[in-house]
């Protein structure tokens, strides 16, 4: 019976040590952005997907239109 008590104490010590090692810090942040919807978005030159002769996979698009397209894809676009 004493051995069971010792084992239980060891288990409790292990649990207590785990609890001491846990971090109680939690960091949360929020970022808000305002998109200039009338600005035209174009790929950066020099990136691998940007071919100077043909940028057809990523044509220029107004920021507002791109946001609307993305909202439509995730079904959040206002009707």
* Nearest in space to 61 (alpha carbons), one of 43, 35, 34, 79: 43
Residue pair 61/35 in contact by the 8 Å Cβ criterion = no
**pLDDT (tens digit, 9 = 90+) per residue, 8-48?**
888 888 887 777 766 667 777 887 777 899 999 887 776 66
Q: 47 has which bridge partners?
A: none
With contact defined as beta carbons under 8 Å apart, do 61 and 53 qualify? no
CB atoms inside a 10 Å sphere around CB 8 = 10
Q: Provide mean pLDDT across the span 51-61.
A: 69
Element (H, E) at 40: strand 40-41
User: pTM, whole model, 2 decimals?
Assistant: 0.47
């Amino acid at each position: 019976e004493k051995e069971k008590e010792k084992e239980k104490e060891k288990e409790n010590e292990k649990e207590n040590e785990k609890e001491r090692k846990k971090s109680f810090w939690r960091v949360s942040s929020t970022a808000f952005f305002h998109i200039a919807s009338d600005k035209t978005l174009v790929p950066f030159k020099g990136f691998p997907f940007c071919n100077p002769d043909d940028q057809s996979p990523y044509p220029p698009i107004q920021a507002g239109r791109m946001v609307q397209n993305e909202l439509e894809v995730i079904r959040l676009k206002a009707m």
